[in-house]
């Protein structure tokens, strides 16, 4: 800015309307942005995952580092969770009650999201072949094997996680289905136990310690 101070947060759209600055009609080549005292800002410690509603993500103003670049550092602070009041001003839920509710809902969503990815992760059989994971995959292979067996076939063609074809016996196909199904059930039970524990936890730290 004209006085050398950084105006923050600041977008290029805002910059175009800033007093004392003018831009060529054709725009500004990137190499000339520094001539207008416009510099890229790099993030430090930006949260990679969604943050619980019990916290707020904040940023320090951009600062010039020794390497000549501008950085803005992210940090997390506890959020203020006021009590919930009714129209008469009476407390319906205390701040602590709301924190517990928010923490449980967030952590359960986090567990379910992690499970949704892991539940369908490839499953490796005893021959080192990776098959698509998940309940649907197990049921599809089991059903295909049973239909082939009913039709009098002794082998069946299955597609692995990379879509490569494998001709396997009916017994081996059923074994693959059973292994995938067992893997799914194990992961399902882990997810259910985590949610069960979260629902019965009594403190925020306890809730936040329970993951998939």
Give the chain as a DSSP string: -TTSPPPSS--HHHHHTSTT----TT---GGGGGGGT---EEEES--SSPPPTTEEEEEPPPEE-TTS-EEEEEEEEEPP-PPEE-TTS-EEE-HHHHHHHHHHHHHHHHHHHHHHHHTTS-EE-TTS-EE--SHHHHHHHHHHHHHHHHTT-SEEEEE-TT--EEEEEHHHHHHHHHHHHHHHHHHHHHHHHHHHHHHH--SHHHHHT---
140-196 residue pLDDT tens: 999 999 999 999 999 999 999 999 999 999 999 999 999 999 999 999 999 999 999
101-142 residue pLDDT tens: 999 999 999 999 999 999 999 999 999 999 999 999 999 999
Q: What is the pTM of this model?
A: 0.74
């Amino acid at each position: 800015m004209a006085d050398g101070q950084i105006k923050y947060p600041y977008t290029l759209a805002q910059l175009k309307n800033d007093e004392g600055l003018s831009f060529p009609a054709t725009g500004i080549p990137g190499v000339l942005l520094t001539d207008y005292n416009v510099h890229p800002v790099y993030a430090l410690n930006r949260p990679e995952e969604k943050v619980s509603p019990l916290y707020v993500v904040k940023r320090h103003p951009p600062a010039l580092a020794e390497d000549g670049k501008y950085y803005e550092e992210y940090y997390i602070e506890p959020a203020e969770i006021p009590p919930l009041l009714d129209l008469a001003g009476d407390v319906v839920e205390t701040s602590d009650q709301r924190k517990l509710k928010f923490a449980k809902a967030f952590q359960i969503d986090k567990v379910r999201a992690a499970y949704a990815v892991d539940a369908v992760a490839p499953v490796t059989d005893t021959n080192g072949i990776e098959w698509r994971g998940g309940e649907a995959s197990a049921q599809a292979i089991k059903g295909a094997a049973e239909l082939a067996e009913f039709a009098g076939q002794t082998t069946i063609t299955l597609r692995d996680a990379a879509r490569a074809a494998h001709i396997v016996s009916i017994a081996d196909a059923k074994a693959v289905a059973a292994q995938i199904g067992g893997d799914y059930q194990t992961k399902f039970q882990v997810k259910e136990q985590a949610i069960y524990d979260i629902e019965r936890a009594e403190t925020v730290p306890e809730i936040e310690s329970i993951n998939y």
